[in-house]
Amino acid sequence: MPSDRASRPPLSSPPDFFGNEDILYLMEDMATGEIRLSILWEWLHKGAELTEDDSAAGEPRRTVLTAEVFRQLLAEEYEKLLSASDKDVHDDSKTTSLPIAREIVETYVLEETKAPWYIDLLNVNIDNYDLETARKRIQHYIDTFRKDGTRITENLSFARSR
């Protein structure tokens, strides 16, 4: 006798499917970003050593991750993104969301007080593509959290229009 499972038709989508594959991938990308930024914050604030193989010297070269080293690496990676093809990084995002994402990464990692959720910094900038506005919103978030632990979790464009 076939099992109940074998007699059911196969599911066309996984149980966590939201009707739009892009949403599922975006959630995974955001979770990955959260983990990576958290690790970078930890490494920077705990003085982690980065190692790079230097085959000429025969032993790895060690560099402590400082704010200066982090800024240099961030600038190098940002330049790679700006130089990437439109297929890999949409050209329109290079002057809109990418500079804001860079600002979020730099602020999150360099801030002395670790923000509990990097996603909050994205939320306060939903539908915002102006870097100066983003900087003000990010700093407002950081200042508010540092002052009393309050997280701003709402879209600031919507909150101000009420």
Helix (H) or strand (E) holding 129: none
The pLDDT, as a whole number, for residue 127 is 87
Strand-pair partners of 63: 50
Report the CATH architecture of 20-161: Up-down Bundle (1.20)
Whether residue 107 has pLDDT greater than 80: yes
Q: What is the pLDDT of residue 105?
A: 96
What backbone phi and psi angles, to 5 degrees, belong to 105? -60, -50
Give pLDDT, residue 157. 75
Give the residue from 158, 139, 156 showing the smallest Cα distance to 147: 139
- Number of Cβ atoms within 10 Å of the Cβ of 16: 7
> What's the pLDDT tens digit per position in 14-49?
555 556 665 556 667 778 888 999 999 999 999 999
pLDDT, one tens digit per residue, over 133-148 is 999 999 999 999 999 9
Is the CB of residue 81 less than 8 Å from the CB of residue 74?
A: no
Q: pTM value?
A: 0.76
pLDDT for 162 beyond 50 = no
